[in-house]
């Protein structure tokens, strides 16, 4: 074996692993199909392992191939991040940051953080994405998101988190709901109501926390609608399609025709956390964490 593995071998492998078709992969790479086959064979001989199972009709990754595909994806993501950061330095920017957030972060923590961040680094390039909790965690693990604002009960392996804001829940009711006139309102009075809640896709741990509220009151709610969007919940309540339970901070910033009744006597609390990947070396992450610390301490 008189050749060495080069960058192109891994690039060719990655494209073929994505396509699982030699002709399509060769077309994407602008090379001849026999050349692609030769490069893949060299890669397999170098590592001494079969990476693809080939038949006349199908190309499939072996177990070793699936492992190398994941590693190659991580390698190319890291190379893309290096390119992005180098371009930022070339353009006079300290960093480029991709932030994920849920709606309640906009009502509490995020605006002040962004103001302070821009004061510290006026040329920093920010990309903001409103995403469900589970989506953010998945993208953080893949390093396709630098920082996320999520609600979670425990931090997934490989990620780091910083609790930043804990709050109680509120009922969301139509303005003419009789419970608003009660002197001793109780959740038990809502046993027969239809509930509109954040779905499990918003956050599994958050959903379980809300369901524990109903469990403490000895009834299972009739959940007729689930969504990951707060404004959708409020509009549905305003139209009389049900009632809802949400983090209390969501009563700020939305101009909707509903009433909020704070459930501050309940033991359940929900915490918003800042989360990032421990292996992500984006230089902007430590700066955001530092600013978040100062913001919490000065609150």
% of the chain residues with pLDDT over 90? 57
* Two structure tokens written together for 264: 């501050």
Same domain as 289, residue 153: yes
Full domain range(s) for residue 161: 94-165+272-297
Please tell me the distance from the alpha carbon of residue 236 to that of residue 244, in angstroms, as a whole number: 9
Look at residue 243 and tell me if it is in a domain. Answer: yes
The domain that holds 43 is classified in CATH as 1.10.10.10
Residue 100 lies in a domain: yes
Whether 93 shows a pLDDT value over 70: the answer reads no
- Higher pLDDT: 183 or 67? It is 67
What is the tally of structural domains in the chain? 3
Q: What would the mean pLDDT of 104-113 be, rounded to a whole number?
A: 83
Q: Encode pLDDT of 194-237 as tens digits.
A: 999 998 877 888 999 999 999 999 999 999 999 888 889 999 99
pLDDT higher than threshold 60 for residue 92: no
Q: Give the mean pLDDT of 147-166.
A: 91
Report if residue 259 sits inside a domain: yes
- Last residue in a domain, options 53, 85, 117: 85
253: left (phi over 0), alpha (psi -120 to 50) or beta: left
> Same structural domain for residues 292 and 161?
yes
Is 155 within a domain? yes
Length of the chain: 299
Q: What is the pLDDT of residues 11-37, one digit of tens each?
A: 999 999 999 999 999 999 999 999 999
Answer yes or no: is pLDDT of 81 > 90: no
Average pLDDT for residues 128-148, to the nearest whole number?
92
Q: Write down the pLDDT at residue 251.
A: 86
- Judged against a pLDDT cut of 70, whether residue 94 lies above it is answered with no
The half-sphere exposure of 275 on its side-chain side, counting CA atoms within 13 A, is 30
Kindly give, in sequence order, each residue whose CB lies less than 8 Å from that of residue 75, ignoring residues fewer than 6 positions away: 10
pLDDT at 91: 65
CA distance 42 to 59: 17
Q: Is the pLDDT assigned to residue 140 strictly greater than 60?
A: yes
Strand-pair category, 147-151 with 125-130:
unpaired
Asked whether residue 2 is assigned to any structural domain, the reply reads no
Q: Is 159 in the same domain as 286?
A: yes
Which pLDDT belongs to residue 241?
A: 94
Residue after which a domain boundary falls, among 85, 119, 151? 85
Burial 188-219 (b: 16+ CB within 10 A, else e): eebeebbbbbbbbebbeebbebbbebbeeeee
Pair (200, 254) in one structural domain: yes
Predicted pLDDT at 125: 82
pLDDT at 7: 87
Strand pairing partners for 170?
246, 262
Distance, in Å, from the CA atom of 133 to the CA atom of 137, rounded to the nearest integer, reads 6
Inform me whether the pLDDT recorded for 239 exceeds 90.
Answer: yes
Same domain, 177 and 262: yes
- Chain position carrying tokens 């693990």: 141
Residues 111 and 200 in one domain: no
Asked if 159 and 289 sit in the same domain, the reply is yes
- pLDDT of 2 > 60? The answer is no
pLDDT of 43 reads 93
Do residues 149 and 282 share a domain? yes
Q: How confident is the model at residue 50 (pLDDT cuts 50, 70, 90)?
A: very high
Does a structural domain hold residue 1? no
Q: What pLDDT was estimated at residue 299?
A: 67
Together in a domain, 70 and 122:
no
Q: Indicate whether 258 belongs to any domain.
A: yes
Chosen domain end from 64, 85, 106: 85
Q: What is the CATH number of the domain that holds 228?
A: 3.40.190.10
Q: Are residues 151 and 277 in the same domain?
A: yes
141/192 same-domain check: no
Q: Which token pair is 268?
A: 């359940």
Chain-centroid distance, C-alpha 263: 28
Closest listed residue to residue 73, CA positions, set 136, 146, 13: 13
Check whether residue 63 and residue 137 sit in a common domain: no
What's the chain's average pLDDT? 89
CB–CB of 43/71 below 8 Å?
no
């Amino acid at each position: 074996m008189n050749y060495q593995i080069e960058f192109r071998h891994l690039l060719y492998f990655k494209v073929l692993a994505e396509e699982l078709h030699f002709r399509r992969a060769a077309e994407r790479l602008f090379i001849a199909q026999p050349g692609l086959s030769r490069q893949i064979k060299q890669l397999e001989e170098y590592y001494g392992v079969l990476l693809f199972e080939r038949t006349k009709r199908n190309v499939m990754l072996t177990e070793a191939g699936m492992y190398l595909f994941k590693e190659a994806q991580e390698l190319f993501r890291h190379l893309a991040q290096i390119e992005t950061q180098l371009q930022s330095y070339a353009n006079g920017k300290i960093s480029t940051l991709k932030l994920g957030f849920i709606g309640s972060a906009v009502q509490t923590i995020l605006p002040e953080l962004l103001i302070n961040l821009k004061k510290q680094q006026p040329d920093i390039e920010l990309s903001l994405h409103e995403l469900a909790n589970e989506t953010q965690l998945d993208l953080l693990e893949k390093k396709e998101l630098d920082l996320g604002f999520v609600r979670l009960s425990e931090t997934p392996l490989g990620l780091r988190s910083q609790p930043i804001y804990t709050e109680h829940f509120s009922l969301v009711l139509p303005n003419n709901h009789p419970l608003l006139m009660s002197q001793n309102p109780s959740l038990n009075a809502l046993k027969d109501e239809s509930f509109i809640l954040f779905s499990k896709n918003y956050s599994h741990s958050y959903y379980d926390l809300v369901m524990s509220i109903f469990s403490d009151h000895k009834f299972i709610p009739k959940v007729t609608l689930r969504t990951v969007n707060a404004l959708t919940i409020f509009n549905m309540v305003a139209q009389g399609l049900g009632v809802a339970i949400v983090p209390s901070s969501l009563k700020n910033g939305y101009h909707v025709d509903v009433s909020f009744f704070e459930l501050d006597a309940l033991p359940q609390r929900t915490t918003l956390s800042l989360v990032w990947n421990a292996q992500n070396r984006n230089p902007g992450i430590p700066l955001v964490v530092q600013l978040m610390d100062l913001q919490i301490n000065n609150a």
